[in-house]
Amino acid sequence: MRIVNPSFGLTPAGAEQVTTRPVDWLTDPIVMFTNSKPNARELLDGIRQQLAAIRPIDNIAFMGKNSASQPAPGGMIEQVAQQYRIALLALAD
């Protein structure tokens, strides 16, 4: 299964053009982000272990909300966006 953001790479109307380099799945830092639903951490850990077969995993980190029933703390999403170029999300049971 491949899930992509269909708006990735599209500049919003009225926004200035920003030039970025393509994502490098073999070397760029990845964050595994969970909303703390049951088994989400285990799912992401399994994906991380599978990635170990094709890339170093020392720059793959885990982050997540404290509770599935609460929104992310202020600034958390912005912090993730600033530190990582790739995010894999586990959002459901």
Task: Give 79's contacts (C-beta < 8 A, 6+ positions apart).
Answer: none
Tens digit of each residue's pLDDT (9 = 90 or more) over 14-28: 666 656 778 888 999
Tens digit of each residue's pLDDT (9 = 90 or more) over 57-87: 999 999 988 888 888 887 888 888 888 888 8
In the chain, what percentage of residues exceed pLDDT 90?
Answer: 28
- For the entire predicted model, the pTM comes to 0.71
Whole-angstrom distance, CA of residue 27 vs CA of residue 41: 22
**Whether the predicted pLDDT of 1 surpasses 50:** no
